[in-house]
Structure 1
Amino acid sequence: MSTDTYDQKWLTELRATLTHEFEAQTARLTQLTADTGDPGEAHTNAALIAATRQSLDRISAALRRLNSGSYGDCERCGTAIPRERLEILPQARFCVPCQQKQNG
């Protein structure tokens, strides 16, 4: 399967949504990495920075899959990830059964 499984209008809208989210997360990361001077916030900021970077990595990977035509293919078994799952979790890399195996 590939992006041929999904209609182009939806993929175009999805690309725009992911791009917007990437920009928002990048702005958030910039704000988080600004030195507030408060050592009490350092631990919380470190956790927020890590979570934001992880989100950026997932969004970037989804955009790469869209560009390569492999978006929506389960990275484990290769079957098409249902559109309903991608609408809820656009960065999904696995179908539900493979995600459950991945989580253990």
Structure 2
Amino acid sequence: MSAELTSSQAATGRPLTTQQQARMRARLVDDLQQARELEARLQHDVADGIASRRGSTNDEVDDPEGANTAFEGAQSNAMVQHTRRHIEEILAAMVRLDDGTYGSCERCGSAVSKARLDARPATAFCINCAA
């Protein structure tokens, strides 16, 4: 139970206790570290792919492996962008923890359920507004 919100807190939108805030912050910090490590690995993979094609005289249009190489590069770039967005979401969640709005939906203001916070600690929206 990482978020450790009681049912009444999730239902009423009451603020987190100091202990709950500390636990959630630790989880977000861990998630942030993992996401930054993933971003670095993905960027390394993209750079390796570019370096492996540098100086090549093969035209990807005529190269039977060209389409796969281009697809893999595009896929890796998309994964880097997705990871960066996740990092931004985690940082925003940490700001919400600091300003006391963590656990409240940014769109409608209702409480975000305990189960949702446990599953997606960086979420800014209740399940209804996320859909």
Match of 1:5 in 2: 15
- Corresponding residue to 2:39 among 5, 9, 29: 29
Q: Taking structure 2 as the reference length, what is the TM-score of the superposition? A: 0.66
Deviation at 1:90, TM superposition (A): 0.9
1:31-46 equivalence runs, <5 A? 31-34=41-44, 35-36=47-48, 37-39=51-53, 40=69, 41-46=72-77
1:1-104 equivalence runs, <5 A? 4-34=14-44, 35-36=47-48, 37-39=51-53, 40=69, 41-100=72-131
2-structure distance, mates of 1:18, 1:52: 14
Extract structure 1 runs of 4+ deviating beyond 6 A: none
Amino-acid identity (%): 28
2-structure distance, mates of 1:14, 1:28: 21
- Backbone CA RMSD of aligned residues: 2.0
Deviation at 1:63, TM superposition (A): 0.9
Q: Which moved more, 1:74-83 or 1:62-71?
A: 74-83
Deviation at 1:4, TM superposition (A): 4.9
Residue type of the partner of 2:106?
Answer: E
Deviation at 1:38, TM superposition (A): 4.0
1-structure distance, mates of 2:99, 2:113: 19
Q: Which has the larger radius of gyration?
A: 2
Secondary structure of the structure 1 residue equivalent to 2:87:
helix
Q: How many correspondences in the alignment?
A: 99
2-structure distance, mates of 1:8, 1:87: 17
Structure 1 gap segments, 5+ residues each: none
